């Protein structure tokens, strides 16, 4: 049977000129509606939970709040416990300045003292020996052996002291470079935590 | 013994060993300096026979000054060259006509010179330097372990 004359978009029995006796065969297949595939269930949206606004401190302040303030809070997504925990971990923890380390300060001072002592001791030993200061400084013949022993010790150990001082200062600089952090300013006991926006590093 | 060492900790043991090495190294260096001074003194000291010869020749006054100068020279040459200390720093010559002369520094002809480059590292200074390095290293370890007590500080 020809289905011409009927709009294929609609069922024939509801169109003009349809005769159930004549067009029964045409109408029959139309009764077998195609099974509509169920649409997949859309994911459940985030639950909208009302966030309890903080209690107004002052009645006047409470009255000055906008009328939509409660609604704004109400439609904010609820905070999960994990998010709260991450907020706690993101507390303003800043690295301490290496120069607050008393060991490092002591090492820096010791390095400078070792260099100065080593250079000074070596110069003193040279003066004692080559310029004849063992006699010239008024030392007696009996005190000369002690002065010569001290001069020998200074001659032998002073350059090693200066070398140790140089290596100590180098170590201090390496230590500071190791602990240096470009992200945050260092904490100072007097000023407290530095504001995050005041980063100059 | 073991318990006391554990109580000291690694840093404490390093500092203790460093102090012992430093003090012991300085003591050893002082003993070495004393021995060098004694050897130099012995090298420039006149024997009784030599002093009598010089007195007869009429030159004993200048010997005292020369003794001090050459004693210092012997010590410094020994320090800077690393060679051996000569047993005698002078020679007394008796001429055929009976005159007596004394010459200093003749030992240099047979002197063992390792280096004339001024200061050089001597093995006697290594223990003291090692002790100092141990102490400084222990303090560096303490600096690495140090943690700030500031509530907002992170090391």
Domain positions in chain A:
1-31, 98-179
Q: Which chain A residue lies closest to B138 (C-alpha atoms)? A: A103
Long-range contacts of residues A26-29, Cβ cutoff 8 Å, at least 24 apart: A26/A1
Cβ within 8 Å, pair B79-A156: yes
Minimum distance, in Å, between the CA of residue B31 and any CA atom of chain A: 9
Question: Which has the closest alpha carbon to B60: B72, B51, B69?
Answer: B51
Cβ within 8 Å, pair B79-A141: no
Cβ within 8 Å, pair A156-B122: yes
pLDDT value, residue A49: 58
For residue B103, the cross-strand partners are B91
Sequence-separated (6 or more) residues with CB below 8 Å from residue B19? B131, B135
pLDDT value, residue A198: 44
Give the three-class secondary structure for A96: strand
What is the longest distance spanned by two Cα atoms in chain B?
Answer: 95
**Average pLDDT estimate for A34-44:** 64
Q: Find chain A residues with C-beta within 8 A of B123's C-beta.
A: none
Distances (CA, A) of A129 to A3, A132, A133, B42, B84: 129, 6, 7, 18, 19
Minimum distance, in Å, between the CA of residue B111 and any CA atom of chain A: 20
Classify residue B155 by its DSSP letter: -
- Partner residue facing A155 (CB), from B41, B119, B154: B119
Question: Which has the closest alpha carbon to A188: A89, A88, A98?
Answer: A98
- Partner residue facing B136 (CB), from A101, A149, A168: A168
pLDDT value, residue B65: 62
Greater model confidence, A187 or A165: A165
Q: Which chain A residue lies closest to B132 (C-alpha atoms)? A: A164
- Partner residue facing B140 (CB), from A93, A95, A107: A107
**Res A157 pLDDT > 90:** yes
Q: CA-to-CA distance for B25 and B124, rounded, in angstroms?
A: 7
Q: Find chain A residues with C-beta within 8 A of B136's C-beta.
A: 107, 110, 164, 167-168, 171
Cβ within 8 Å, pair A101-B41: no
Q: CA-to-CA distance for B21 and B33, rounded, in angstroms?
A: 18
Q: CA-to-CA distance for B1 and B7, rounded, in angstroms?
A: 10
Cβ within 8 Å, pair B146-A187: no
pLDDT value, residue B112: 56
Minimum distance, in Å, between the CA of residue B143 and any CA atom of chain A: 5
pLDDT value, residue A38: 67
**Res A138 pLDDT > 60:** no
**Res B126 pLDDT > 70:** yes
Overall size of chain A counted in residues: 201
pLDDT value, residue B48: 78
Cβ within 8 Å, pair A145-B33: no
Cβ within 8 Å, pair A156-B125: yes
pLDDT tens-digit readout, B35-88: 988 888 888 887 777 777 777 777 766 666 667 777 887 888 788 777 777 777
pLDDT value, residue A32: 53
């Amino acid at each position: 049977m020809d289905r011409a004359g009927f709009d294929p978009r609609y069922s024939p029995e509801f169109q003009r000129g349809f005769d159930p006796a004549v067009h029964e065969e045409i109408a029959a297949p139309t009764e077998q509606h195609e099974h509509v595939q169920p649409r997949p269930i859309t994911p459940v949206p985030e639950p909208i939970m009302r966030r309890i606004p903080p209690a107004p401190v002052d009645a006047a302040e409470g009255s000055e709040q906008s009328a939509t303030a409660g609604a704004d809070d109400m439609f904010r997504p609820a905070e999960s416990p994990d998010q709260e925990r991450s907020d706690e971990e993101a507390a303003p923890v800043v690295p301490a300045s290496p120069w607050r380390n008393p060991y490092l300060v002591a090492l820096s001072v010791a390095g400078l003292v070792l260099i100065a002592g080593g250079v000074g001791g070596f110069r003193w030993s040279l003066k004692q020996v080559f310029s004849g200061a063992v006699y010239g400084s008024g030392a007696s013949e009996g005190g000369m052996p002690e002065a010569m022993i001290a001069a020998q010790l200074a001659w032998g150990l002073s350059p090693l002291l200066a070398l140790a001082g140089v290596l100590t200062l180098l170590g201090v600089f390496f230590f500071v470079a190791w602990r240096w952090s470009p992200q945050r300013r260092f904490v100072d006991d007097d000023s407290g935590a530095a504001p995050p926006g005041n980063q100059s590093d | 013994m073991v318990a006391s060492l554990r109580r000291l900790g690694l840093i404490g043991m390093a500092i203790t060993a460093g102090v012992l090495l430093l003090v012991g190294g300085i003591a050893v260096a002082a003993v070495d300096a004393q021995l060098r001074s004694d050897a130099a003194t012995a090298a420039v000291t006149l024997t009784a026979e030599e002093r009598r010869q010089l007195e007869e020749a009429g030159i004993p006054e200048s010997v005292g000054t020369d003794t001090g100068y050459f004693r210092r020279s012997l010590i410094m040459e020994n320090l800077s060259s690393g060679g051996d200390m000569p047993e005698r720093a002078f020679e007394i010559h008796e001429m055929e006509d009976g005159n007596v002369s004394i010459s200093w520094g003749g030992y240099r002809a047979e002197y063992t010179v390792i280096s004339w480059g001024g200061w050089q590292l001597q093995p006697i200074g290594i223990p003291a330097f090692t002790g100092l390095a141990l102490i400084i290293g222990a303090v560096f370890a303490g600096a690495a372990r140090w943690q700030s007590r500031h509530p907002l500080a992170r090391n």
